[in-house]
A and B are shown apart, each in its own frame.
Chain A
Amino acid sequence: MPDHLKDLFDRALDDEPSLPDGDFARQVMAQGRGIRRRRHGLLAGGAMAAAAVAVVAALGLTPAPTGPPPWIPEALALVAQTEPQCTWPASDNATDVWISLRPDSSEQQHDALRDALHADPLVRNVRFDSREVVYERLKQLWSDSPDFVAAIDPSSVTDSFRLKLTGPAEYSKIVAGYAGRPGVAYVAGGVCP
């Protein structure tokens, strides 16, 4: 059946309209820049607002109207933005989790969390992202927005644990289990491919 299936799919594609003209790539790039700007817009609020506004002003743009829900720390927003393939914040169907650590958290607290996470059957894998690593990733991601890069440094972000869950139903249990632990600043969920 599969061979036959391919033929049938090819036939189903017979009425394909012609492809868009040569400007298509330019349209795509314009839309892509818009997406990047909205990502900047996401950071509005607190200290980052100044940076985002400065970028927007420098580029002569109107700021994106949507800010983050106010309860998400900007630093965590930045951390999560290093993974644009993920949709976040998400709760019901979160497949992935960022645990953002307090700036004053200790090595011992990190170790305790790491051990707990590794032992947790709800967690498929765990990665520790230091703020330096996150900062490097951000710099790379926004390498074509030097104004923005100039406005951030490693202290703009936090150390964090990045988790992949065994299933989307486990997010609330993760929040319940880790949000109040020593050294944890915030837990956020996202849907990642």
Chain B
Amino acid sequence: MSRRTADTASSRPRWSLTRRTDRAVRDEEFTAFVAAATPRLRRTAYLMCRDWHLAQDLTQLTLARMYSSWARIGRTADLEAYSRRVLMNAVFDQRKRRSSAEVVSADLPDRPGHPAEQAAELHVTLMRALSTLPLRDRAIVVLRHWEDHSVETVAEILGVSVSVVKMQSMRALARLRDLLGEDFARQ
């Protein structure tokens, strides 16, 4: 082992040329991926956490984690689903770390009782209602109904079975409907 490690400095020039070319190509590919993936990842992150700063950080962390294994994952078929999986894990981790800082639902109307707000700011109400859902249900709603992923893809991203996605999706939508009132459902 010690002989090998002593060798490493002198062996550098041998590999550095091809290695650097490979790396340059990979970095170019990755830079293109970042440009393409960032806007949507950040929006998905925002819908999960309602905080653009945090969404930006989570997006950066997601991409950095992907870069740290890019040599391995860079050519996998479904980078999009993979990136959602890494993002959702980052969201879940983040929530675990600050689970005490739950700041939701305090001002959520328990029933449609604020017509003015409903008319003007239904999307605000929706975001508040969404944040009262369990995190995984929220992820299912966002991935399924904003990102438009199939039930199968959502199941794969979250590492749960298709039937869990279907069941929890139904449950989550019913709960949103409940929180937002019948007007919402009919619109």
Shortest beta-carbon distance, B136 to chain A, in Å?
A: 12
- Bound complex: CA A5 to CA B19 (Å): 48
Q: B52, A150: Cβ atoms under 8 Å?
A: no
Residues of A contacting B56 with CB < 8 Å? 20
| B43→A13 contact, CB < 8 A | yes
**A12-B126, A16-B46, A146-B15 are contacts. A151–B5 as well, Cβ < 8 Å?**
yes
Q: Is the CB of A50 within 8 A of B67?
A: no
Grouping DSSP codes into helix (H, G, I), strand (E, B) and loop, the B interface class, with mixed when no group exceeds half, is helix
Which of B8, B47, B89, B157 is A150 in contact with, Cβ under 8 Å?
Answer: B8
Establish whether residues B65 and A35, one from each chain, have CB atoms under 8 Å apart when the complex forms: yes
The docked-state distance in angstroms from the alpha carbon of A174 to that of B155 is 25
Determine if A72 is an interface residue (Cβ-Cβ < 8 Å): no
Residues of B within 8 A of A15 (CB): 52
CA of A31 to CA of B62, assembled, Å: 10
B5/A51 in contact, CB under 8 A: yes
Assess the A84–B69 pair: CB atoms within 8 A: yes
Query: For window 136-171 of chain B, which residues contact chain A by CB distance below 8 Å?
Result: 141-142, 145-146, 148, 157-159
Total number of B residues with any Cβ neighbor in A under 8 Å: 63
With an 8 Å Cβ cutoff, the count of chain A residues facing the other chain is 46
- B1→A151 contact, CB < 8 A: yes
**A28-B71 contact in complex given A12-B126, A151-B1, C-beta closer than 8 Å:** no
Residues of B within 8 A of A (CB): 1-2, 4-5, 7-9, 11-12, 15, 19, 22-23, 26-27, 30-31, 34-35, 38-39, 42-43, 46-47, 52, 56, 60-61, 63-72, 85-86, 88-89, 93, 122-124, 126-127, 141-142, 145-146, 148, 157-159, 173, 176-177, 184-185, 187
